[in-house]
Every structure is written in structure tokens, then in C-alpha cells.
Structure 1
Amino acid sequence: MSLSARLLALALSPLCAAVAVATEPDRSALFEHEIGRLHSSEIVNLQERFQGEPLLIVNTASHCGYTDQFGGLERLHRDYRDQGLKVVGFPSHDFNQEADDEAETARVCFQNFGVTFDMFRPIGVRGHDAHPIFRELARQADAPRWNFHKYVVDREGRVVAHFPSRVGPDSGELRGAIEGIL
């Protein structure tokens, strides 16, 4: 059998079909949750709020060298919200840099940086304690290696790009990925 015939046979095999299915987004893992807003009694149904929307999902921390990125994330929110982008922040203590008190986390976000995009209660973003949202993001892309890892998610729930902490919200690369899903 020629090499091209073997490649065609492999491409048509059930193994490849399973791989193709595995790369599809698990919308239930991303959206079928209710999560409390940061320092609020309000519970948000993520499916109602975000499914079918272009997203920028970020794991955040209040006491990190990258905490000033809240300002840039707020600028992204303001620049692209009229085009449909939803910026979504999930505080996490996985890297030992989140405030112990939710009120302090809220103060850092809302008072210090004027955040108006959606911020939720702290959740796990890595390993066995990761919330299903972040397990799905890691399955599609990579688990966050530090605070302020950014995931650009299209309307279908696919991670189209992700950026480590050192790539700031004002980077052309991040803005280009966002513009690609709008």
C-alpha cells in the first residue's frame, strides 16, 4: 500500500474520528454552571449569560505582579463590548496570590481598577480542584501556568487563542485574536 493510501486509510479510521470529536468544545463544561458574582449574593446562569457569545476568559488574582492588567482588561471590555465581547474574570488562589477575603478581592477589582466586566467568586483553575470551566479550557488549550492567563473563546465555545500572563491586554496579538471572533 502506498504512503498516500495508508494516510487516507488512517484518516478514515475510527481513531481519527475520535480525535476530531475530542477537539470539539464541550459546551456543557463551559456553560452549564451557576456561579456567584464576586462579593454579591447574585447567582449567574453562565449558559444564559455567555453561551453563543465571544469571550475573553481570564484567571485573576488580587496580589500579583500582573494585577495591574485589570486596567487593560477593562479597556478591552469597553473597546469591544458593543461588538459583543464578554470579558469574564475568575479569581483564583491556585498560585497563592488571591486575597483571603472576597470583599478585598472586590475592592481591588472594582475600586482600585474600576472593573465593570463580569467577575465571579474565586474558583480553582488548575489540577484536580479546577472548576469544570478551566478543565475544559485546559483540554482545548493549556492550563494556566500563572495568574492572568487569557483565553479567547469563539461563539461556538472553542478556544481560538490563549495567552500567558506576560502578554498584556493591550498587546496587538491579543487584540487581533479578539477581533477575529467578533
Structure 2
Amino acid sequence: MNVYDFKVKTIEGKEVSLQEYKGKVLVIVNTASKCGFTPQYEGLEKLYQQYKEQGVEILGFPSNQFAEQEPGSDQEVKNFCQLNYGVSFPLFAKGDVRGESAQPLFNYLSSSIAFGGFDMNHPNGKMLQGFLAEKFPELLVGDSIKWNFTKFVIDREGNVVKRFEPTTEPAAMADALEKLL
């Protein structure tokens, strides 16, 4: 099994197979518009512009699952991303990314590679760890997605090869991407 076995809905509501991305290096990320990590949209778009000609695709999946930080409709999310961050990479329909209601793709991703902990050197690392421990301790259990902007890197054969937690800025993923190109 690999990511090509999944079908997802675009932000416009069209069902697509991830087979459409066969042969590309993918970054699959759960996103939110009202999160402390929302500025990562800018970094993701920079990565996309830098590497898209070499075969990198970034796939954004909005989710309202973490403290309701993505309350808008799919159209509102799309408009927000384009107007505020110039996002041109593909966005998909809003949905859950952990638990029983999670999109199957995200259950697969989080079961494929373990949670590696937050970067405590990141300005928000200790804050996020403490916030989750106090308010949502159940989120820290297991390998499921902990918060918005968890990023999974997929190789050209559809295999999950790397996981970056929200405390990893998109620019720090460049080396991992280049090794797969």
C-alpha cells in the first residue's frame, strides 16, 4: 500500500486519485487559517515555487480539528490562502486528520511514520507541548497528528519517507526534498 491507493476531494469538491501525482515528490500537510503556524503557508508556497519544475507537489488539506482553527467553508479557505499567502499549490476539501472520523489518507500517513516530537528550539515548540499537555493531553498519545501543519514527505514511488512536525519550518524540509529529486 502507498499514497496512490487513496482518493481525495479537491477544495472544489472533485474526487481525484492520488495516482495523478505518481512520479512526483509530495509534501502532504494538514493546514488551518487561524493557527500560530498559519504563516507556514508562505514557506510552503516558496518551496513549491522553488521545486515544482523538478517534480515536487505540495498538497494542502485544511482541517478544523484542532481548536477550531479552520472554521471557514472550502471556498473561504481557498480565498484566504490565495489572498494572504499567494498559495498556488493544490488545496483539498476540509476534513479531519486524526481519530475515527479522519480521512483514510491521514490514518495511513500517521501510521506509516512515528511522531518524532516537537522541535523545542522552535519559538513555539515548548508552548505547543505545554498547551497540548494541559488542554488536550489525549493528542500527545500515539503517532497520530498532533496539530496543524504536520508535513509528510512522499517519494516518487508513493512511499512515506519523512514526517515533519508543526515546529519544523517548511524551508528546513529542502534537504529532504532535494535527496528525493
TM-score (norm 1): 0.77
CA distance in 2, matches of 1:66, 1:170: 14
Aligned to 2:4: 31
Query: Which amino acid is 2:21 matched to?
Result: F
Please say if 1:83 is aligned against 2:54: yes
Query: Which amino acid is 1:180 matched to?
Result: K
Q: Over residues 71-125 of structure 1, what are the superposed CA-to-partner deviations in whole Å (9 max), with x where a residue is unaligned? A: 1100000000011011111111111211232222112111111111010011211
Alpha-carbon offset, residue 41 of structure 1: 4.6
Aligned to 2:171: 170
Please say if 1:145 is aligned against 2:116: no
Aligned to 1:7: none
Report the 3-state secondary structure (helix = DSSP H, G, I; strand = E; otherwise coil) of the residue aligned with 2:170: coil
Alpha-carbon offset, residue 126 of structure 1: 0.5
The partner residue of 1:98 within 56, 70, 73 is 70
Asked if the contact 2:13–2:93 (Cα under 8 Å) also holds between the matched residues in 1, the reply is no
Alpha-carbon offset, residue 60 of structure 1: 0.4
Q: Which has the larger radius of gyration?
A: 1
Structure 2, unaligned runs of 5 or more: 115-143
Aligned to 2:106: 134
Structure 1, unaligned runs of 5 or more: 1-25
Query: Which amino acid is 2:162 matched to?
Result: A
Asked if the contact 1:160–1:177 (Cα under 8 Å) also holds between the matched residues in 2, the reply is no
TM-score (norm 2): 0.78
CA distance in 1, matches of 2:44, 2:13: 24
CA distance in 1, matches of 2:54, 2:6: 25
The partner residue of 2:97 within 103, 125, 130 is 125
Query: Which amino acid is 1:32 matched to?
Result: D
Asked if the contact 1:31–1:133 (Cα under 8 Å) also holds between the matched residues in 2, the reply is no
Please say if 1:179 is aligned against 2:178: yes
